[in-house]
Amino acid sequence: MKIALTTLISASLLSVPALANSFESQHRVGLGYSKTQVADWISDDTVDWGNGIKLEYGYEFNRIVGINVSYATNTDDESVEGLKADIDGSKFQVDADIGYKFDLDGFSLKPYGVLGLARQSEDNSISYNDTKWTESYNDTSFVVGLGGRAEFGQHLYTDMRFEFASYDSMDYDTFSWTVGYRF
């Protein structure tokens, strides 16, 4: 009787973790909006550095850790009294989102922190009358940030995040919002 009871309890305890961990790894692809600002050292304020699109791929290992690969653009142009400035930039980023995914009735929420690496590339030009100056810029930086992801049903999600990167010449703040498909 003791052996049967011990076997029954052991078998019951072995199946509990299998029932508790029903999370399946998930891939996702999204498209969205990106807005970049830089810190202006003269006025100690931020300056708009362009808007663009963002394309992202993500994979969630479990409810806590996910990995993301993204490509975002930032373009802008300004003209003031004959002076024209053009910004044409892009950012390639690999990061991890670390948080906890809360499953609710029909949807889930995951607030998370971001830690990763980003490569910013830009071609900037300033022209005045018939004279034009150009500058190309490439730099890599650590990225930190905060975000949140909401998942609706089995396949739709939306993701919003704020990121900070400090390159050699400037500090970049990026806001992005994406909508995508999970599979």
Show me where the domains of the chain are located.
25-182
- pTM value is 0.81
What's the CATH code, domain 25-182?
2.40.160.20
State pLDDT tens for residues 114-141.
999 999 999 999 898 889 999 998 999 9
Q: What is the mean pLDDT of residues 65-80?
A: 94
pLDDT bracket for residue 159 (50, 70, 90): very high
pLDDT bracket for residue 144 (50, 70, 90): very high
Encoding tokens for residue 182?
């999970």
pLDDT bracket for residue 16 (50, 70, 90): very low
**Which is nearest to 173 in space by CA: 156, 182, 161?**
161
With H, G, I as helix, E, B as strand and everything else as coil, classify residue 177: strand
* Alpha-carbon torsion (177, 140, 27, 106), positive or negative: negative
